Structure formats: structure tokens, C-alpha cells
Amino acid sequence: MEISLLTEFIRSIPDFPVKGVLFRDITPLLKDREAFKDAIKQLADNFRHIDVDVVSAVEARGFIIGAPLAIELEAGFVPIRKPGKLPYESIREEYALEYGTNILEVHKDAISPGEKVLIADDLIATGGTAIACKNLVERLGGRVVGFVFLIELTEFKAREQLRGYDVYSLLKF
């Protein structure tokens, strides 16, 4: 399916979650089996040339993209979660948001030294979450081989923070 057709499955919702924000809702794309399947295939196609060991993604919408992407790439899947959600020993990374800070955690044995890790999420805006994930992966000894996003909000220029890494986003707004 052409990218322009996939874009039609993204619903724009003004003033959500707060006034002034234009929220990009992916649920219509997820509901359509052909659009969802094709989006995952196209995301995977950009990383098939790399022997990805693990796809890692952030809860919750990142899991929706990352898990099927891992299956498509025949890789493992490592969840990165919000604080207090992981049952085993974990490491954490605090990162800045526009209006405060947030924390992400990953099991300390989730990624082995030298493993090739593709970081996936549904959307990239400012890049703060992506950088926090990269830091967690690298602290565990993993090698980030790229970043993949269903949607990129280009006005925030997050790619500048990810310079030097292979970054692919399917849909750009």
C-alpha cells in the first residue's frame, strides 16, 4: 500500500490531550488488517539488510509496533516500561519532557553485550523517549543499529538528536 494511502488511516484530533496539541491517532490504521500488516512490512523492509537480534520498544503504543516488527524481522522483543512495571531487577533512565521528567526501565539482563538492537515506537516528536531508550540499550552493552517509527512529527526536528544512527519513519507530518 502506498504511503499516501496509509496516511489516510491516521486520524488527527485537535486539542488532545491538551489544548493546542494535534494528536495523531493510529487506531484506524491498527484496525484495518491490510493497512496494519503493510505498515509493519514496510517498516521491516528498511532493516532487513541488518541481522537484528532484538527489537526494543516503549510501552504502550510502541509495543503495538515493536512486537509485530520483531516477528517480521525474526528477532526477539524487549519491552521498555514505565517505572514499577517490571518484575525482575532493572535499570532506569530519567529523561526530560517539555513539562517535567519521566523514567523508563528495562530488565538488567534483557540485552546482552554486543546484541544488535532496533528501537521502535509508534511516533517520534522531540526525541526524548528515543534517546532514553538508546541510553538504556547502550548501558546494557547493546549496539543500537537503528530507530524505526510509524510516524514522525517533523516540526520537532528529533532527527538532529539521532544523528549518526539509521532512522526510518514511515509517515511524516
Q: What is the pLDDT of residue 100?
A: 76
Question: What's the predicted TM-score (pTM) here?
Answer: 0.95
Q: What is the pLDDT of residue 98?
A: 67
Q: At 39, give phi and psi (nearest 5°).
A: -60, -45
Chain segment 11-20, per-residue pLDDT in tens = 999 999 889 9
Q: What is the pLDDT of residue 96?
A: 85
3 state DSSP class of 168: strand
Share of the chain above pLDDT 70, in %: 99
Please give the class, per CATH, of domain 50-172.
Answer: alpha beta
- The neighbour count for residue 37, using CB atoms within 10 Å, is 13
Chain segment 29-64, per-residue pLDDT in tens = 999 999 999 999 999 999 999 999 999 999 999 999
Q: Which residue ranges make up each domain of the chain?
A: 50-172
